[in-house]
Structure 1
Amino acid sequence: MKTMTCKQLGGACEHEFHAATFEEMKALSKQHGMLIFQQQEPEHMKVMAEMSHLMQDPAAMKAFMEEKQRLFDSITED
C-alpha cells in the first residue's frame, strides 16, 4: 500500500488515500472529488475548475497523469 494526499494528486487538501496501485489511487481521488463537489467546498471547486480546463487539452492531461503516476511510483510502500 502507498499513501498520497489529495494535494499530491492535484487537489486542495491533506486528505490521505491508501492504495496498492495508481489506478486504485485515481479511483479513490475521484470518489473524494465527487463528495467534495456535492459539498461545494471553495478550495476544491477552484482546483476542479482548473482541472476541467486542463482536460480540454488531451496532451496536457496526459502529461499531468504521467506526472502523478511517476510520483506514485516514487513513493515507498507504507
Structure 2
Amino acid sequence: MKSMSCKQLGGACDIMFSGETFEDIAAQSKEHGMEMFQKGDIGHLKAMKTMKDRMQTPEDFNKWMEDKRKEFDALPEEG
C-alpha cells in the first residue's frame, strides 16, 4: 500500500489517498474532487481549472499522468 496527498495529485489540500495501485488513488482523488466541486471549494476549483487546462493538450496531460505514476511507483511501501 502507498499513499499520495491531494496536493501531490494536483489538488488543493493535504488529505491522503492510499491504495495498492496508482489507479486506486487516482479514483479516490477523482471522487474527492467531485465532492469538493459540489461544495464549491475555491482551492479545489482553482486546481480543477489547472487540470482542465492541462487536459486541453493530450501530450501534456499524458506526460503529467506518466510523471505522477512514476512518483507513485517510487514511493516506499507502507506497513
Query: Normalised by the shorter chain, which TM-score bucket?
Result: over 0.9
Q: Distance in 1 between matches of 2:18 and 2:48?
A: 21
Normalising by structure 1, we get a TM-score of 0.97
Query: Which letter maps to 1:22?
Result: F
Normalising by structure 2, we get a TM-score of 0.96
Question: What is the percentage of aligned positions where both structures have the same residue?
Answer: 46
**Runs of 4 or more off by more than 2 Å in structure 1?**
none
Alignment gaps of 5+ in structure 1: none
Spell out the pairing of 1:1-78 with structure 2 (5 A cutoff). 1-78=1-78
Q: CA RMSD in A?
A: 0.6
Alignment gaps of 5+ in structure 2: none
CA positional deviation for 1:52: 0.6
**Deviation per CA, 1:1-60, whole angstroms, max 9, x where unpaired?**
101100011111000001000111110110000100001101110010111111110000
